[in-house]
Structure 1
Amino acid sequence: MAVQGASSCPQHGTVRITQRARATRAWRRALAAAAAVLALPALAGPALAMPTHPVHRTPEGGFEELMVPSSMGPIKVQVQWAAHGGDAALYLLDGLRARDDFNAWTVETNALQQFANDNVTLVMPVGGQSSFYTDWRSPSNTNGQKLTYKWETFLTEELPAFLEGYGVSRTNNAVAGLSMGGSAALALAAYHRGQFKHASSFSGYLNISAPGMREAIRIAMLDAGRFNVDSMAWPWSPQWLRMDPFVFAPQLRNLPMYISASWGVLGPHDHPDSPIGIFNTANAVALEALSMVNTLSFMGRMNQLGIGAHYSFPMQGTHSWPYWQDQLAAARPDILAALGA
């Protein structure tokens, strides 16, 4: 009897053909299974891809504290990640009395809320009291300091390299600071133009080589942590002059800047209601008036060089956080425009 599909072949030939057909079908099924396995990674797509940088412990727009390695030891850095995953960053520098537990921008102002919906990461280093955010020549010898401040190195080398691992650009940054941080912001931007595209100074001291300024800074630094200004830089040495915005002004050409200071007249945020409150307000008036004199001198130098900046000189305002909060809000559009954020 002939087997179906074997035509008129003899029976032993039919068996061989049937076995060959079964083997062929089995081989095809094996190939199909192998192809399906190989296709799985492609079908999975990004879900199976390994992350290219550390994962944030908080979502986009969230607040996080990082411990960043440095030559000074681990440094706490508070960050608010960009709201939409962007790579731009704004460094916010503290004042002379910077604390070791938090950056004052996070607790004295609404800076986090101001940028909450913006595609820019806020980077707020903690510490650096009386440091002027520069690299010192030696530890302070008036307060037993064990390490040498290396804040410029940290902010322009160690911290950007660390943040790059989280997707933050090393070249699309802005920097802003108040008082001590104001002159430091301009210095960092002047000497690291590849990193910073915008700089803001609020009530900064922008002519620190003017008569009497070094001794005024000496007194202030002794009061804020008993730091010795001579350990930072020798009087009128190249290192000292390098810190002075009035001196390095030519290096600020073509850099977008927001520069502000007030006249020291009491304003809407000043409500002293106790002896200590009156004392602190009187100090804030004097400090702001000195900042205004410095800033006007700096502006004259910039105008002489033909270098432009966005200046803000409100009549009312003292050397205090509510006014710096207002100035940050005023600078925000310029900062975001410079960063494309």
Structure 2
Amino acid sequence: MALIQCDFFSDVLGLSSSMYVILPQNAQSQIGMESKATQRKHKTLFLLHGLSDDHTIWLRRTSIERYVAPLGLAVVMPAVHRSFYTDMASGGDYWTFVSEELPALARSFFPLSDRREDNFVAGLSMGGYGAFKLALNKPEQYAAAASLSGALDVSTFEERAPVDFGRIFGTADVVNGLPNNLFLAAETLKASGRPIPRLYQYCGTEDFLYEDNVKFRRHADALGLPLTYEEAPGEHSWEYWDEYIQHVLKWLPLGEE
């Protein structure tokens, strides 16, 4: 695998930003690694970080590089700070950045496929929210999305964590409207006739976000969305996210080359 830190200027944010990118590489002599690559443009997983972290965290807390090596899958890990993947009331336009500018920039820098069936998004906690937010609001861009311990009900999240939602979202109307409210986004997508991405959801039963995850699962089931749900004893911890990102990779519809 090739691991690249990419520093670039974002026109949307009006400042410099960073992302880590893992690119597939054929390498037969890399000790302890099975690597796979193709001559085609790479299938891509956009992998999103949580509230207290940045674009480096998946590499520091998991073996994501080793996990994706035999899959021939590129991974793009952007930095979005504490934005909730939102066009902030007092801050940068991180929703526009991650939903529009980031994919275009990444594909201009690296040989990444732009086909819907080759693009996936996943994340943990705030990043789980971001992953479902992208999939439900931009379904033409992603074939599948996964949330690990996601902060899926943003209308209640401020009660559970020290987050200044006024600075991020501004008003309750913004929190409860599109694209920010995942429950409304799911209903809107179901009624629209647009393609519906496959969804994967995991949360530990001792996680402080467990009830929000059960609430979203019930909502998705009622709408008939294609949701795979897993839960197990566990807290809001990398011990579980390192395990379940491997479940996600096995679940992804990567298909044949």
Q: Indicate the TM-score class for this superposition, using the shorter chain for normalisation.
A: 0.7 to 0.9
CA offsets, 1:160-179, max 9 Å, x none?
Answer: 22222222123331110111
* Larger Cα-atom Rg: 1
- 8 Å contact from structure 1 (residues 88, 339) kept in 2: no
The offset of 1:129, in angstroms, is 2.6
Match of 1:149 in 2: 92
- 8 Å contact from structure 1 (residues 174, 339) kept in 2: no
CA offsets, 1:53-101, max 9 Å, x none?
Answer: xxxxxxxx211111132132121110110241442110111111124xx
CA distance in 2, matches of 1:202, 1:251: 23
Return 242-251 or 192-201, whichever deviates more.
Answer: 242-251
Q: Please say if 1:334 is aligned against 2:254.
A: no
Q: Which runs of 4+ in 1 moved over 6 A?
A: none
Q: In structure 2, the residue corresponding to 1:331 is in which secondary structure?
A: helix
Give the letter for the 2:113 counterpart.
S
Match of 1:231 in 2: 167
- 8 Å contact from structure 2 (residues 154, 175) kept in 1: no
Structure 1, gaps ≥5 residues long: 1-60, 140-147, 222-227, 265-287
Return 255-264 or 167-176, whichever deviates more.
Answer: 167-176
Query: Which is strand-richer, 1 or 2?
Result: 2
Match of 1:256 in 2: 198
CA distance in 2, matches of 1:176, 1:214: 19
Structure 2, gaps ≥5 residues long: 26-36, 191-195
Structural mapping, 1:118-137, within 5 Å: 118-126=71-79, 128-137=80-89
CA distance in 2, matches of 1:247, 1:206: 12
CA offsets, 1:194-234, max 9 Å, x none?
Answer: 2211100000122222xxx15425x522xxxxxx3112223
Give the letter for the 2:112 counterpart.
V
CA distance in 2, matches of 1:74, 1:239: 27
CA distance in 2, matches of 1:117, 1:312: 24
Match of 1:98 in 2: 53
CA distance in 1, matches of 2:188, 2:130: 14
Structural mapping, 1:295-306, within 5 Å: 295-306=213-224
Pick aligned residue for 1:177 from 123, 132, 141: 123
CA distance in 2, matches of 1:296, 1:98: 25
Structural mapping, 1:307-318, within 5 Å: 307-314=225-232, 316-318=233-235
How many matched pairs?
233
The offset of 1:339, in angstroms, is 6.5
CA distance in 2, matches of 1:123, 1:87: 11
Give the letter for the 1:81 counterpart.
L
Match of 1:199 in 2: 145
CA offsets, 1:278-311, max 9 Å, x none?
Answer: xxxxxxxxxx1x3110011111111221223110
Q: In structure 2, the residue corresponding to 1:237 is in which secondary structure?
A: helix
CA distance in 2, matches of 1:194, 1:334: 20
Q: Percent identity?
A: 26
Structural mapping, 1:33-52, within 5 Å: none
CA distance in 2, matches of 1:247, 1:291: 19
Q: In structure 2, the residue corresponding to 1:117 is in which secondary structure?
A: helix
Give the letter for the 1:235 counterpart.
T
Pick aligned residue for 1:82 from 24, 31, 37: 24
- 8 Å contact from structure 2 (residues 201, 229) kept in 1: yes
Cα gap change, 1:215/1:67 in structure 2, threshold over 3 Å: closer, same or farther?
closer
CA distance in 1, matches of 2:19, 2:255: 21
Q: In structure 1, the residue corresponding to 2:209 is in which secondary structure?
A: helix
Give the letter for the 2:181 counterpart.
D
Structural mapping, 1:62-77, within 5 Å: 62-70=2-10, 71-72=12-13, 73-77=15-19
Cα gap change, 1:252/1:310 in structure 2, threshold over 3 Å: closer, same or farther?
farther
The offset of 1:239, in angstroms, is 4.9
Cα gap change, 1:234/1:115 in structure 2, threshold over 3 Å: closer, same or farther?
same
CA distance in 2, matches of 1:199, 1:297: 18
Give the letter for the 2:3 counterpart.
F
Q: In structure 2, the residue corresponding to 1:130 is in which secondary structure?
A: coil
Match of 2:66 in 1: 113
CA distance in 1, matches of 2:70, 2:152: 32
